[in-house]
């Protein structure tokens, strides 16, 4: 592969660019400028390019047929509405008339929204990264008319600058190369494609399952942990839901203080760092530095759902009030800005910027801006607590400060010569005023598409919050989660055919991917636990059965990311998604969301523990075995796999409550069981009036009773005592 990369780099004499970064979109009025064909797209990212002077196509048969008819290479742009550098490239390069003229003259131009088509994005990211060592957004790829990549990169400016080649230089040279060295370009693309195909088929190895594999991945997690700043690795820091959950899971039964420190140090650092929005609530997508100081300011549902789960579980494990505060802030942010209060459902993203040239200005503050909003005393407290100084952290505007906690409240109180309680009140009041000041338009754009996988993640997170924070308006949290789940099931789900990928403005859109299915199935199982309604269990089973029929790899075990019908159609040339179906993918690593196959294995085992249907257990076994021989090579990116493997090898505690659902004693047991902290536990309620066949006997006097068991293992004597049940759930089998 390296020979191929460098040979083609020499052929083009290319200077490689640093990896692209990320954030947002605006829809400015463009006067009388003519709209292109992207004007009718369902994607706000594509619609934002509707006035560009480029003959853009959406990814599909029409674009590839045009490329073949005109015998032209394809320029592929993949980005997102929240992506800052995507918009920089749009504004600098694709709005440039000279660049547009070159593209229209020599190429067929295709624009893709990575949120709408994560399957395409992942494949072309891998293709370009293998060719150039680059990845990220915007992704710029040059393809043959058959959709095979022969060169690419990330952000390209219009002009040569800083020793970097711009599009006005690059585009003519690629066009000339394609015209005069076509056979060589096609051969390069074909060989690269074959190597990608080989890597997809041989990239993971099967093996037998053992507890030592979990231990190996936990050891790798410890080694990758940054003890100084929290998180993992030594560069840019991303929230990692699976890694934190793995640390908490293994720390709990084994009393491993080092693992508990991994989780706590990471969450403390994020809670105090600039990656947390201390004014509006929620977390940004990632930090560009290892200290969690300067984030990229877009907000994504998968990040915030993971943060809800991590902080809820850490609160349940430690009782630290800071973690509860963080969860409440995230939920409040989502309620205000990132969800649909009327219909239910969670939105796709919120931008970082509010206009051209704004890279986080909306979320950052100068001392003068703070002084202009707050009283002198409030301002002193806020500036001291959050480290707001004359020189801030932002590169574009050095006066702008990212808010992060730099002092303890006691230290600020000492500076102000005030009691801590009064100082806390000043900080609280100051935050409220800063929020009010930023609430006036313009505000960062929100993409109101509702993606199935991200909605599944958020529903599950909300229901986890309900379990442990029921005293804090938990019923409202539960009700909105169920409203959102029911909405997606009504609008974007078909029995026997699973989920569509998204719902937007009255339409279910896009072929559902593996992640859409398994995250929504997991949400249904969570809903079954908190409601006792069998329709949620039956829906989860239906979705999983569909996955086993249409996504399953009969030969090797595990699940493809695309259903069989789509893969076959593409391979036969009956569909236009060329690379998407030709390169098989079975997602195994957390990049960055929990991997589809790991979640599938976890859902399969959970269904098995509830239904005792052995086909679910067998499928989970084969899924985990498919990656067992190479999982250790993935380190922390296999954290969700390690969680699923531990869940498979060591059955969780299971509380089975037999009693009338409306009975006060049943509700008391139910809420206590849900709120007992034991990672992976299962709680189900069975009403004798609704079910003719009960898993365990009801009491003759009709009073509720709970059985705490390890599935296919020991059961404790039935009890009606809440404290006894909670103790059993927390300690049984350890």
Please report the pLDDT score of residue 459 as a whole number.
98
Contact between 451 and 501 (Cβ < 8 Å): yes
Phi, psi (degrees; rounded to nearest 5) at 433: -70, -40
Please report the pLDDT score of residue 9 as a whole number.
37
- Pair 227, 196 in one domain: no
Contact between 370 and 427 (Cβ < 8 Å): no
CA 244 to CA 314: how far, in whole Å? 9
Structure tokens at 477: 């949290």
Phi, psi (degrees; rounded to nearest 5) at 143: -120, 155
Measured distance between the N- and C-terminal CA atoms of the chain, rounded to whole angstroms: 48
Contact between 84 and 143 (Cβ < 8 Å): no
CA 126 to CA 583: how far, in whole Å? 11
- Pair 80, 228 in one domain: no
Write the pLDDT tens digit of every residue in 1-43: 333 433 333 333 333 333 333 223 334 444 567 999 999 999 9
- Pair 36, 144 in one domain: yes
CA 692 to CA 694: how far, in whole Å? 6
Contact between 640 and 595 (Cβ < 8 Å): yes
The average pLDDT across 194-215 equals: 91
Q: How far is CA 172 from the centre of its chain?
A: 38
Structure tokens at 558: 């595990």
Least confident of 97-106, 110-119, 465-474: 465-474
Please report the pLDDT score of residue 201 as a whole number.
82
- Pair 243, 303 in one domain: yes
Structure tokens at 136: 């990220």
- Pair 395, 534 in one domain: no
CA 655 to CA 46: how far, in whole Å? 49
Structure tokens at 422: 């009064």
Contact between 370 and 383 (Cβ < 8 Å): yes
Q: What is the CATH number of the domain that holds 133?
A: 3.40.30.10
3-state secondary structure 209-261: CCHHHHHHHHHHHHHHECCCCCCECCCCECCCHHHHHHHHHHHHHHCCHHHHH
CA atoms within 13 A of residue 435's CA, in its CB half-sphere? 16
Confidence of residue 579 (pLDDT cuts 50, 70, 90): low
Structure tokens at 627: 């990656």
Q: How far is CA 104 from the centre of its chain?
A: 35
Least confident of 96-110, 393-407, 570-584: 570-584
- Pair 130, 152 in one domain: yes
Domain stops at, among 395, 424, 441:
441
The average pLDDT across 440-463 equals: 96
User: How many angstroms separate the most distant Cα atoms in the chain?
Assistant: 89
Contact between 140 and 75 (Cβ < 8 Å): yes
- Pair 401, 452 in one domain: no
Confidence of residue 570 (pLDDT cuts 50, 70, 90): low
pLDDT reading at 431 higher than 70: yes
Write the pLDDT tens digit of every residue in 125-165: 999 999 998 899 999 999 999 999 999 999 999 999 877 79
CA atoms within 13 A of residue 712's CA, in its CB half-sphere? 13
Task: Tell me the whole-structure pTM to 2 decimals.
Answer: 0.93
Report the domain count for the chain: 4
- Pair 637, 707 in one domain: no
pLDDT reading at 552 higher than 60: yes
Beta bridge partners of 74: 108, 143
- Choice between 725 and 28, residue whose per-residue pLDDT is larger: 725
Burial 189-207 (b: 16+ CB within 10 A, else e): bebbbeebeeebeeebeeb
Q: What is the extent of the structural domain holding 432? A: 361-441
Least confident of 33-42, 108-117, 464-473: 464-473
Contact between 366 and 392 (Cβ < 8 Å): yes
Examine residue 570 and state whether it is found in any structural domain, yes or no: no
pLDDT reading at 702 higher than 90: yes
The average pLDDT across 615-640 equals: 97
Examine residue 692 and state whether it is found in any structural domain, yes or no: yes
Domain stops at, among 601, 628, 649:
649
Please report the pLDDT score of residue 29 as a whole number.
45
Average pLDDT, the chain: 91
3-state secondary structure 377-417: HHHHHHHHHHCCCCCCCCCCCCCCECCCCCCCHHHHHHHHC
The Cβ of residue 8 has, within 10 Å, a number of other Cβ atoms equal to: 21
- Pair 161, 281 in one domain: no
Q: What is the CATH number of the domain that holds 710?
A: 3.40.30
Least confident of 25-29, 329-333, 426-430, 520-524: 25-29
Please report the pLDDT score of residue 472 as a whole number.
59
Least confident of 195-209, 508-522, 707-721: 195-209
Please report the pLDDT score of residue 14 as a whole number.
35
- Pair 471, 619 in one domain: yes
Examine residue 602 and state whether it is found in any structural domain, yes or no: yes
CA 574 to CA 361: how far, in whole Å? 47
H or E segment at 708? Answer: strand 705-709
CA 171 to CA 159: how far, in whole Å? 11
Examine residue 260 and state whether it is found in any structural domain, yes or no: yes
The average pLDDT across 516-520 equals: 98
Domain stops at, among 202, 228, 253:
202
H or E segment at 111? Answer: strand 108-113
3-state secondary structure 56-103: EEECCHHHHHHHHHHCCCEEEEEECCCCHHHHHHHHHHHCCHHHHHHH
Question: Which residue in 126, 156, 34, 24 sits closest to 80, CA to CA?
Answer: 24
Please report the pLDDT score of residue 197 as a whole number.
86
- Pair 172, 63 in one domain: yes
Phi, psi (degrees; rounded to nearest 5) at 236: -55, 145
Write the pLDDT tens digit of every residue in 301-352: 999 999 999 999 999 999 999 999 999 999 999 999 999 999 999 999 999 8
- Pair 248, 387 in one domain: no
Write the pLDDT tens digit of every residue in 645-680: 999 999 999 999 999 999 999 999 999 999 999 999
Please report the pLDDT score of residue 22 as a whole number.
28
CA geometry: angle 568, 573, 578, nearest 5 deg = 85
What letter would DSSP give residue 721? -
Q: What is the CATH number of the domain that holds 277?
A: 1.50.10.10
- Choice between 598 and 29, residue whose per-residue pLDDT is larger: 598
Please report the pLDDT score of residue 437 as a whole number.
94
Phi, psi (degrees; rounded to nearest 5) at 403: -75, 125
Contact between 704 and 629 (Cβ < 8 Å): no
The Cβ of residue 496 has, within 10 Å, a number of other Cβ atoms equal to: 10
The average pLDDT across 73-99 equals: 95
Beta bridge partners of 706: 657, 719
Burial 587-623 (b: 16+ CB within 10 A, else e): bbbbebbbbbbbbbbbbbbbbbbbeeeeebbebbbbb
Residue 335 Cα distances to 27, 81, 309, 481, angstroms: 25, 21, 17, 11
CA 401 to CA 387: how far, in whole Å? 8
* Structural Rg of the chain based on CA atoms: 27
CA 141 to CA 121: how far, in whole Å? 11
């Amino acid at each position: 592969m390296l020979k191929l990369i460098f040979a083609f780099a020499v052929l083009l004499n290319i200077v490689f660019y640093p990896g692209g970064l990320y954030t947002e979109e605006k829809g400015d009025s463009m006067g009388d400028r003519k709209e292109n064909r992207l004007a009718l797209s369902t994607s706000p990212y594509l619609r934002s390019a509707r006035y560009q002077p480029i003959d853009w196509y959406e990814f599909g048969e029409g674009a590839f047929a045009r490329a073949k008819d005109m015998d032209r290479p394809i320029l592929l742009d993949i980005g997102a509405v929240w992506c800052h550098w995507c918009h920089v490239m749009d504004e600098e390069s694709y709005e440039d008339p000279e660049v547009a003229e070159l593209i229209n003259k020599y190429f067929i131009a295709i624009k893709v929204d990575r949120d709408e088509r994560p399957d395409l994005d992942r494949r072309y990211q891998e293709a370009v990264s293998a060719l150039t060592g680059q990845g990220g957004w915007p992704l710029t790829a040059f393809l043959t008319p058959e959709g095979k990549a022969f060169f690419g990169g990330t952000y390209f400016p219009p002009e040569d600058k800083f020793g970097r080649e711009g599009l006005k230089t690059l585009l003519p040279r690629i066009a000339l190369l394609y015209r005069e060295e076509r056979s060589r370009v096609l051969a390069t693309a074909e060989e690269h494609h074959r190597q990608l195909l080989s890597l997809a088929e041989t990239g993971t190895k099967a093996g037998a399952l053992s507890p030592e594999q979990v231990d190996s991945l936990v050891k790798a997690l410890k080694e990758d942990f940054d003890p100084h700043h929290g998180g993992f690795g030594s560069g840019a820091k991303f929230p990692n839901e699976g890694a934190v959950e793995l640390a908490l899971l293994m720390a709990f039964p084994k009393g491993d203080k080092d693992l508990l420190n991994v989780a706590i140090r990471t969450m403390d650092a994020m809670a105090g760092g600039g990656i947390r929005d201390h004014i509006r609530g929620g977390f940004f997508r990632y930090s560009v530095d290892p200290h969690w100081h300067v984030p990229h300011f877009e907000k994504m549902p998968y990040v915030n759902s993971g943060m809800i789960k991590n902080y809820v579980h850490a609160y349940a494990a430690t009782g630290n009030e800071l973690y509860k505060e963080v969860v409440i802030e995230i939920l409040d942010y989502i309620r205000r800005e990132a969800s649909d209060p009327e219909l239910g459902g969670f939105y796709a993203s919120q931008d970082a910027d509010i206009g051209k040239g704004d890279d986080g200005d909306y979320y950052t503050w100068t001392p003068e801006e703070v002084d202009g909003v707050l009283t002198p005393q409030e301002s002193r407290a806020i500036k001291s607590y959050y480290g707001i100084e004359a020189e801030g952290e932002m590169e574009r505007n050095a006066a702008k400060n990212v808010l992060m906690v730099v002092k303890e409240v006691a230290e600020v109180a000492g500076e102000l010569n005030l009691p801590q309680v009064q100082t806390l009140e000043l900080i609280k009041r100051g935050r409220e005023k800063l929020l009010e000041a930023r609430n006036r338009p313009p505000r960062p754009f929100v993409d109101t598409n509702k993606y199935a996988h991200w909605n599944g993640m958020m529903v599950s997170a909300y229901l986890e919050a309900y379990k442990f924070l029921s005293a804090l308006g938990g019923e409202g949290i539960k009700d909105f989660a169920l409203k959102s789940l029911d909405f997606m099931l009504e609008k974007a789900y078909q029995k026997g055919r699973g989920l569509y990928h998204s719902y937007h403005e009255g339409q279910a859109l896009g072929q559902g991917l593996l992640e859409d299915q398994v995250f929504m199935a997991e949400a249904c199982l969570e809903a079954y636990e908190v409601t006792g309604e069998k329709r949620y269990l039956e829906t989860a089973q239906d979705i999983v059965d569909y996955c086993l029929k249409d996504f399953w790899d009969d030969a090797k075990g595990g699940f493809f990311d695309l259903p069989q019908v789509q893969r076959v159609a593409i391979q036969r040339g009956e569909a236009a998604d060329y690379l998407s179906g030709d390169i098989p993918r079975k997602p195994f690593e957390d990049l960055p969301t929990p991997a589809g196959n790991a979640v599938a294995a976890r859902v399969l085992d959970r269904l098995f523990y509830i239904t005792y249907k052995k086909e679910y257990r067998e499928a989970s076994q084969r899924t985990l075995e498919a990656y067992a021989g190479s999982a250790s090579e993935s380190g922390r990116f296999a954290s969700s796999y390690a969680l699923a493997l531990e869940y498979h090898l060591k059955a969780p505690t299971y509380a089975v409550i037999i009693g009338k659902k409306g009975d006060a004693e049943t509700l008391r047991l139910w809420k206590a069981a849900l709120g007992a902290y034991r990672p992976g536990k299962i709680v189900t309620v069975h009403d004798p009036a609704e079910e003719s066949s009960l898993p365990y006997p009801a009491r003759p006097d009709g009073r509720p009773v709970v059985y705490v068991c390890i599935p296919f293992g020991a059961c404790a004597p039935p009890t009606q005592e809440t404290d006894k049940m909670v103790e059993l759930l927390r300690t049984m089998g350890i």
